[in-house]
Amino acid sequence: MRFKIRALTPDQDIVEEVIEARNEDEARQLLRSRGWAISSIQQTSASSLGHLFRLGARSGKFSLLLFSQELLSLLRAGLTIVEALEALLEKEQNQEIRTVLSKVLTGLQEGKRFSQVLSEQENYFSPLFIGIVQASERTSSLQPSLSRFIEYQQRIDVVRNKIISALIYPTILFLVGGAVSFFLLVYVVPRFAEVYKGTGRALPWSSQMLLQWGSMVTEHGSVFAVVGVALLASLGFIVARIWKKGGALGLIGKLPGFSDSIRVYALSRLYITLGMLLDGGIPIVTALTTAESMVSESMRLALRQAGKAIESGIMLSDAFERNQLTTPISQRLLRVGERTGDLGGMLTQSANFYEGEISRWIDRFIRGFEPVLMAIIGLVVGTIVVLLYMPIFDLADGLS
């Protein structure tokens, strides 16, 4: 197996290379034997399309997760935060990332707090990341905070990637099936209509309707083109508005039968975010404010109302229940956390429970939806083809 690694050498150089090992443990052991401090390690394959996409994404923009992993590795190796940023800046070749690192490093050299410097680069550093760094400054626990953030981000990415991967194949099927159907209706059917006009034979009713459609497309092609463009533009505008409000998950949530599962995913993401913040020592009201940037617009409003209720003295479990931010399972776990004083742990347990439920839902979706979609596309295309060829079969019977 091949592993792509980033590591810090004993000479304080950051290297990136691909190594061969039977498994990840063996790869880590090999690097430790060289005296290297591992920044990141990931299995790679030359034929992995997803891996190529990830490499392209990393090379083109600033990755907060990768930055956190490399910074944590350098801090664990004994470097100060300024030295770590200088090392990251020296090895970086992407100009955009160099600009971000330079601004952060300059701010620290001017005597600003790390969280203050990050907040000045809010386009690259999320409010959640800034919040946990700010909390770590009060307790001098930057390394544990970075470790919690890395674990959190990896768990979020795993679930999100599962959802996106589950939708890629059905989307491709739908687009290909739609394109084939569109081609048959606007190109093939009109030409068959012209052929059948001169036969002088009565056609089956279904074939007549299909061929009338073909004749209409031929005679009024410009009108159909304008209407098609207008419909596509309207659909694109609607999709863009939904995407702007809730991203890909907001768009998926609008589909029939998906809303409940997307709500469970959103709650799971909220719970794991709050769990990480509370475990990092951030007060509950501040944690709720920080978590607002991680949720949809409707959930953000409910979160604010829950925060006001908590400030007035209401328990978290009751405030969440009133604002529909719980499920029966999470409600019980929250009450257990309030009784035992381990609210952050119980929020994380709730997230773990629903991550498993989401994974099972994705598996059921893949097994059930894809065959159904293939059957629908096959039925549509097959119906069009059969209706086109029915007059030919009828003509062949007459000749025989």
**Per-residue pLDDT tens listing for the chain (400 residues):** 677 777 767 666 666 777 766 677 777 777 776 777 776 777 765 433 344 334 333 334 788 888 888 888 888 888 888 888 888 888 888 888 888 888 888 988 888 888 888 888 878 888 888 878 887 887 777 888 888 888 888 877 777 777 777 778 778 888 888 888 778 777 777 777 666 666 566 666 766 777 777 677 767 767 777 887 888 788 777 766 655 655 555 555 555 556 677 778 788 888 888 888 887 778 888 888 888 777 777 788 888 888 888 888 888 888 888 888 888 888 888 888 888 888 888 888 888 888 777 777 777 777 777 788 888 888 888 887 777 777 676 666 655 5
Verify that 271 and 356 share a domain, yes or no: yes
Residue 344: inside a domain, yes or no? yes
Domain range for 75 is 2-125
Verify that 350 and 385 share a domain, yes or no: yes
Q: How far is CA 301 from its chain centroid? A: 22
Verify that 47 and 84 share a domain, yes or no: yes
Verify that 66 and 146 share a domain, yes or no: no
Residue 137: inside a domain, yes or no? no
DSSP-assigned letter for residue 184: I
Residue 132: inside a domain, yes or no? no
What is the token pair recorded at 234? 């309207």
The 3-state secondary structure of 164-179, one letter per residue: HHHHHHHHHHHHHHHH
Query: If 0-12 CB within 10 Å is exposed, 13-18 middle and 19+ buried, where does residue 8 land?
Result: buried
Verify that 102 and 170 share a domain, yes or no: no
pLDDT at residue 55 in the model: 38
Residue 92: inside a domain, yes or no? yes
Verify that 121 and 148 share a domain, yes or no: no
What is the token pair recorded at 170? 């059905």
Report the amino acid identity of residue 259. S
Say how many domains are in the chain. Answer: 2
CA separation for the pair 238, 50 (Å, rounded):
29
- As a residue count, the chain comes to 400
pLDDT at residue 49 in the model: 39
Q: Which residues pair with 20 in a beta bridge?
A: 2
Residue 70: inside a domain, yes or no? yes
Residue 135: inside a domain, yes or no? no
Verify that 28 and 170 share a domain, yes or no: no
Verify that 118 and 153 share a domain, yes or no: no
Report the amino acid identity of residue 115. S
DSSP-assigned letter for residue 327: -
pTM value > 0.85: no
pLDDT at residue 10 in the model: 67
CA distances from 271 to 67, 266, 274, 373 (A): 24, 9, 5, 34
Measured in degrees and rounded to the nearest 5, phi and psi for residue 255 equal: -75, 145
Q: Which residues pair with 44 in a beta bridge?
A: 2
Q: Of 368, 354, 374, 366, nearest to 165 (Cα)?
A: 366
Strands across the sheet containing 2-8: 14-20, 2-8, 37-44
Q: Of 109, 113, 70, 75, nearest to 92 (Cα)?
A: 70
